Amino acid sequence: MAAGGRVVEAVALGGAALVLFVAGLLLPAGGLLTGMSPIPLLVLAGRGGLPLTAAVGAGAALMAFVLEARAAAGFLLQAAAPALAMGAAARRANTPVPPVLAGAGAGLVGVALLVGSRVGFRPGAAVAAFGAHVDGVLNDLIAGAGRMGLPGEQVRDLSAWMGGLRDAVVALLPGLLATAELLMAVLVYGIAGAILRRRGTPPPPLAAWRLADGWVWTFIGAGILTLLPSPARPLGLNLFVAVIGLYFLEGVAVAAELAHRFRLPPGLWAFGLLLLLLQPLTAFVVAALGLFDIWCGFRRRERTAR
Give, for all 306 residues of the chain, the pLDDT tens digit: 566 778 899 999 999 999 999 998 888 767 889 999 999 999 999 998 999 999 999 999 999 998 788 899 999 999 999 999 999 999 888 899 999 999 999 999 999 999 888 888 887 888 787 788 777 777 777 777 777 777 767 767 777 777 777 788 888 989 999 999 999 999 999 999 999 988 877 888 888 899 988 999 999 999 999 999 888 999 999 999 999 999 999 988 888 888 777 777 877 767 777 777 677 788 888 898 889 888 887 776 544 444
Amino acid at 157: D
CA distance 206 to 287: 16
With a CB cutoff of 8 Å and minimum separation 6, the contacts of 81 are: 106, 107, 109, 110
Give buried/exposed letters for 236-261 (b at 16+ CB in 10 A, else e): bbbbbbbbbbbbbbbbbbbbbbeeee
CA distance 184 to 100: 9
CA distance 233 to 222: 9
Amino acid at 69: A
Residue boundaries of the structural domains of the chain: 1-199, 210-306
CA distance 34 to 167: 27
Asked whether the beta carbons of 81 and 106 are under 8 A apart, the reply is yes
- What are the strands, taking DSSP E only, across the chain? none
CA distance 154 to 160: 10
Q: What three-state secondary structure class fits 127?
A: helix
